[in-house]
Amino acid sequence: MSECTHECSSCGESCSDRQGPQSLLKEPNPNSRIGKVYGVVSGKGGVGKSMVTSQLAVLMKRRGYKVGILDADVTGPSIPKAFGLHERATGSEDGMLPVESKTGIQVISTNLLLEHETDPVIWRGPIISGVVQQFWTDVIWDVDYLFVDMPPGTGDVSLAVFQSIPLDGIIIVASPQELVSMVVEKAVRMAEMMEIPILGLVENMSYITCPGCGEKVYLFGEGKSEEAASRHGLKLLAKMPIDPSLAQLTDAGKIEDFQGDWLAPAADAAEGK
């Protein structure tokens, strides 16, 4: 038997290092303190995943926890905009430091690394996946809860997050349109294949509230997400409305000022209640 070079990909020997699948999980920065880590995912874009991530982070901060957001939606980062963050992230020889929002929520995103925040990110998949992993391995986090705003779909970056970051669970965000069942099923199956627990489902853009009488109007029909959740044995954690004030707060970078308790059950699930 030749001397081991620890390069298994080019070795034909059978040894203890080659028994069973090798974990691809990455260690966080040694200076980090990280509690629970939850991914916020969607099977398609445009369903308000980043809005749910932002509001969850704000709710947990209001409950007295230290909270962070790892923006893994590298090519479509919207988290800094929602929190009004425009300065660039800094660092030292120990690692990169996340930027803190007005209320102290820690955020890292590609927009906080670019010279101009409107510059497009024209990178290939492996580079994007590597950047997301560095947000975990190189950034110095000090949080009780870290929410990972995932890119939409089930592509390279989502796979990289599932494989490299030890998620304690995921929350699936969906809209009530006809395709929601298929979209939810894709996200559920990916989580099951990666053996990641699912906290539940959040239906966004569920209804509008009449400003005159307060009645809820379900523009896309009612019950589709409940059916999807029931079919997969998931909890329907919340139904979020279409609320113009949320869009205004996001555009103004003041999402931390939102009022509403739609996501309280999701925050309870994150706490383990």
Interval 192-224: pLDDT, tens: 888 999 999 999 988 898 888 889 898 887 767
The verdict on residue 9 lying in a domain is: no
The verdict on residue 252 lying in a domain is: yes
Q: Count structural domains, the chain.
A: 1
- Going from the C-alpha of 123 to that of each of 74, 80, 157, 217, the distances in angstroms are 9, 20, 12, 42
The Cα–Cα gap between 42 and 184 comes to 7
Check pLDDT > 90 for residue 157.
no
Domain span at residue 205? 24-258
Q: The domain that contains 217 carries what CATH number?
A: 3.40.50.300
Q: Which of 23-32, 40-49, 201-210, 254-263 has the highest mean pLDDT?
A: 254-263
The Cα–Cα gap between 150 and 74 comes to 9
The verdict on residue 4 lying in a domain is: no
The verdict on residue 270 lying in a domain is: no
The verdict on residue 167 lying in a domain is: yes
Name the more confident of 95 and 3. 95
Q: Which of 30-44, 102-116, 150-164 has the highest mean pLDDT?
A: 30-44
The Cα–Cα gap between 189 and 200 comes to 13
C-beta separation of 249 from 201 below 8 A: no
The verdict on residue 272 lying in a domain is: no
As a whole number, mean pLDDT of residues 142-162 equals 85
Q: Percentage of the chain with pLDDT > 90?
A: 48
The verdict on residue 264 lying in a domain is: no
Amino acid, single-letter form, for residue 41: V
The verdict on residue 128 lying in a domain is: yes
Q: What is the sign of the dihedral through the CA atoms of 126, 131, 109 and 260?
A: positive
Hey, how many other C-beta atoms are within 10 angstroms of the C-beta on 105? Answer: 25
Looking at residue 194, its pLDDT comes to 87
Query: Would you state the structure tokens that stand for residue 227, as one six-digit string?
Result: 């059916």
The mean predicted confidence, pLDDT, of the chain is 85
Looking at residue 22, its pLDDT comes to 58
9-13, 34-38, 46-50, 184-188: segment of lowest average pLDDT: 9-13
